[in-house]
Amino acid sequence: MKPMFNPSLMCMDLLNIKEQIQVLNKRADFYHVDIMDGHFVKNITLSPDFVKAIHPICDIPLDCHLMVTTPDDFIEPLAKAGAGFICPHAETINSEAFRIINKIHDNGCKVGVVLNPATPVSYIKHYIHKLDKITVMSVDPGFSGQPFIPEMLDKIRELKQLKEENGYHYLIEVDGSCNKRTFKQLTEAGTEVFVVGSTGLFGLDSNLETAWDKMIADFNQEVNA
């Protein structure tokens, strides 16, 4: 499978959103939108209103990562705003996971689930077959630029094995410290979608086209080494 890249929009230059979206429309596979409530994680970044504002100029799916305590409150607003994927954390939905998953699908969106570093794959085993994407957090959630947690490679391998053995259709995504230092080991473990933020993309050059070219060169150089 061709690697897919999911730029984290909270790391972009928010003073030049339209210009940067136009650059990424031609290159990226998804847009990663972090929705935070100040409770599940301590900070607050983007919102359903942000999704609504940029949706008209986006040519690829908006992938909404819900770092919120009550994801049910965000499903309908995000679906109406134009979300393509809605991805709550498993830690926030397991008391009502099937209802939440069905609600996301019923609102016309694909369903992802996000696993914190300390959350095992077994936590989602009863509904894993219903998921369109599983995101492995390779850093603790809430802040960009954290160091990679190497123990997550075994979790990625486990998801890859389960997918192959059972014919599941979910995409395997990694969020956190996807960059030149980790591309090779993440790819070898089974990562299919890379969330790229400050270290992987936006910090490589002030010109986003140049930064993207550098990222792809880094990826190809490391993975093919």
The catalytic position among 13, 29, 34, 72 is 34
126 known ligand binder: no
- Pair 174, 195: CB distance under 8 Å: yes
59 belongs to the catalytic site: no
- Pair 67, 85: CB distance under 8 Å: no
User: Please, what sign has the CA dihedral across residues 34, 92, 98, 74?
Assistant: negative
State how beta strands 4-7 and 85-88 pair. Answer: unpaired
218 belongs to the catalytic site: no
32 known ligand binder: yes
Cβ within 8 Å of residue 198, ≥6 positions away: 8, 11, 144, 145
Cβ within 8 Å of residue 215, ≥6 positions away: 5, 196, 200, 201, 204
197 known ligand binder: no
175 known ligand binder: yes
- Please give the structure tokens belonging to residue 201: 């993309």
132 known ligand binder: no
176 known ligand binder: yes
Q: Report the distance separating Cα 49 and Cα 40, nearest Å.
A: 19
The catalytic position among 29, 63, 132, 175 is 175
Q: At how many degrees (to 10) do helices 72-81 and 97-106 cross?
A: 10
At which residue do the structure tokens 């429309």 appear? 25
- Residue ranges of the binding site for substrate: 65, 175-177
By annotation, the residues acting in catalysis are: 34, 175
- Residue ranges of the binding site: 32, 34, 65, 175-177
- Residue ranges of the binding site for a divalent metal cation: 32, 34, 65, 175
